[in-house]
Amino acid sequence: MKLHILLMMLLVSCSSGIDRIPDSHDLKADVDLFLSTMDPDVEVKILQRLKGAKVSHESVKSLLRQRKNPVNEKRGLQTGLTFKINGKEYSYALYHPKTTDTPLPMVIVLHGMGGNGDTTVAKWAERLNKEFIVVCPSYPMGAWWARPAEDMVLALMDHTKSIYNVDTNRIFLAGLSNGSIGTYTIGMFYPDRFAGLIPIAGSITPRFMNFLINLRNTPIYMIQGAHDPIFPIKLSRRVNQILSDMKYPVIYREHGEKGMAHGGHFLPENEIPDLLEWIKKQKRVSNPDVVRMTRENNHLGAIHWARLNKGKNLASLELPGPESPRPNNKNGKIATLFAFRKGNNQFEVMGENIVEYDLFLNTETVDFSKTITITTQKIQNQNNKLIPGEKKISYQKKVKKDLAVLLYGYKQLRDPSQLYDARVNILLETTLVQSHL
């Protein structure tokens, strides 16, 4: 009998790991456990507990907005730091102002070919008057356009947010030369994560200019030398023209200086004061009324409150890099989705090559006690002009709030400014088709 009791005690002891759900309901403990666990079964059980206790969305939102990250006491300049993702370790450098614990803006700076984070961070900390958190990762050859580099930059951004008091509405992405390409590609595919983009002495090819549409709500500050021998000035001029024609928030600075080593391929110091003044004025737009996106198969996903899940025969675009010499590439189409929040629970979506999309809703933008109507229109490309076709009702009924949408969404982004109460999934009866890359 004693042996039996001992075995039972051992079994109970072994089962009481960090993912053990508390016996009595404690909202904060449940939310903390949901956000920390890696066990899907525990996530499901916690959601069941919260729904069974009829926990309100507002009480959960309040907890999420009040969450505070552990305060890392390290301040000043830090070089030789390491960060691990997908089994690989990368080096980075960081600067944190020494005297403040208030939420701070953050600038992530991507170096050029031959550069590294350690040699980049001090210069940028000075340029920003030591008022910003500055994060400078290192990547082989500065191949920031490669998918492993993209994953690393986004994960490092989230990691820094988890250990420092970062103002999530004032995160910027900047880069010079090859780093400028990464600023464009990462910024265009994840525009809602940044308050602004700063590409310097670099640009993108016309094929990738299709994705400038995604910058509807993300300001961009471009600096390019007219005598740059590496990146033709006509590329940056074309980007500026496209953004200006769409009436997007863009500032284009073209300088005529020539440096000693690389002609016009550098950042003149006399450009810094105006750039710094611009940065200080920017703040990320939350819950914009209009979301515009173009997507290919490697970058399906959400921008703000609209998400493209599936398109028809989409292209897969990925440039090779030192860690991805054979990227996922195939010819095909791009998908275009324009989503408009019209007020009074009315949404209009226009699309091209779309099969399935989601809209995310919250109490700040809709009245959940009333019917929500979503219409979808086909876009036709006629002589390079997008012409809307017949408008059809895709959804017309009330929507129930779902704690799973709220908690899983926060767990993915850890962003208190992007909290959604519900999701509406639209699977179109007939695919909206047109256009090739």
What is the per-residue pLDDT across 25-36, written as a single tens digit (0 to 9) for each? 689 999 999 999
pLDDT at 99: 74
pLDDT at 70: 63
Please determine, for residue 397, whether its predicted confidence score (pLDDT) is greater than 80. yes
Cα 305-136-162 angle, rounded to 5 deg: 50
pLDDT at 329: 87
pLDDT at 15: 39
Distance CA 168, CA 171 (A): 6
Residues 6+ away with beta carbon under 8 Å from 210: 294, 334, 437
Please determine, for residue 14, whether its predicted confidence score (pLDDT) is greater than 50. no
pLDDT at 60: 96
- For the stretch 81-110, pLDDT in tens is 999 998 999 999 999 998 777 889 999 999
For 76-281, CATH gives 3.40.50.1820
- For the stretch 340-382, pLDDT in tens is 999 999 999 999 999 999 999 999 999 999 999 999 998 877 7
- Domain locations in the chain? 76-281, 290-432
Please determine, for residue 78, whether its predicted confidence score (pLDDT) is greater than 60. yes
Amino acid type, 109: V
Please determine, for residue 429, whether its predicted confidence score (pLDDT) is greater than 80. no
Indicate the pLDDT class of residue 17, thresholds 50, 70 and 90: very low
Tell me the three state secondary structure of residue 70. Answer: coil
Angle between helix 403-413 and helix 40-52 axes, rounded to 10 deg: 140
Average pLDDT for 33-42: 94
Phi, psi of 142 (to 5 degrees): 60, 35
Give me the residues paired with residue 263 across strands.
Answer: 259
- For the stretch 212-258, pLDDT in tens is 999 999 999 999 999 999 999 999 999 999 999 999 999 999 999 88
- For the stretch 309-322, pLDDT in tens is 999 999 999 889 99
Please determine, for residue 131, whether its predicted confidence score (pLDDT) is greater than 80. yes
Average pLDDT for 60-86: 88
- Integer-rounded Cα radius of gyration of the chain: 24
- For the stretch 280-332, pLDDT in tens is 999 999 899 999 999 999 999 999 999 999 999 999 998 899 998 888 889 99
Do the Cβ atoms of 183 and 199 come closer than 8 Å?
yes
Structure tokens, 277: 């003044």
pLDDT at 263: 77
Phi, psi of 202 (to 5 degrees): -175, 165
The length of the chain, given as a count of residues: 437
Please determine, for residue 198, whether its predicted confidence score (pLDDT) is greater than 60. yes
- Of 316, 311, 295, 276, nearest in space to 191 by CA: 295
pLDDT at 6: 41
Give the chain's mean pLDDT: 90
